[in-house]
Amino acid sequence: MQRLFHTLPSGVREAADAIVDLASAPASSLRAVTPHATDTLPNGVCRALWVGAAGDVAVIAEDDSAAVTLTAVPAGSVLPVRAKAVRAAGTTATNIVALY
């Protein structure tokens, strides 16, 4: 892995590298997503979403307060977005899975 924090002291640099590794590591947990009008994802912010059946996905990203609809997402797509919610209004895709 390429070091991103060359100027940090040794102990801090290793800790920062570990955080970067964790953020880019494969998912360790999967949860089926039921789009909802108000609820957030039950396990908190996910690393990505997998879309099983094509359609639109209305998603609220980790740092956003409103949903943005990603249109015409093909079946089998992985959306690399740290999502906190998937809204029912605007979501036509099905078989969505949150990757944690």
6-49 pLDDT, tens digit per residue, is 555 565 555 555 555 556 789 999 999 999 999 999 999 999 99
Question: For position 2, what pLDDT does the model report?
Answer: 46
Let me know if residue 74 belongs to a domain.
Answer: yes
Task: Specify the pLDDT at position 50.
Answer: 98
Q: What is the pLDDT, as a whole number, of residue 14?
A: 58
For the chain, the domain total comes to 1
Global pTM reads 0.78
Does residue 20 fall inside a structural domain?
no
For residue 3, is pLDDT > 50? no
Residue 6 lies in a domain: no
State the residue range of the domain holding 81.
27-99
The answer to the question of residue 10 being in a domain is: no
Quote the CA–CA distance of 72 and 74 in Å, as a whole number: 6
Contact 49, 99 (CB under 8 A): yes
The span from the CA of 60 to the CA of 68, in Å, is: 6
Check whether 83 has a pLDDT greater than 90. yes
In a domain, 16, yes or no: no
Handedness of CA 41, 84, 76, 95 (dihedral sign): positive
Average model confidence (pLDDT) for the chain? 87
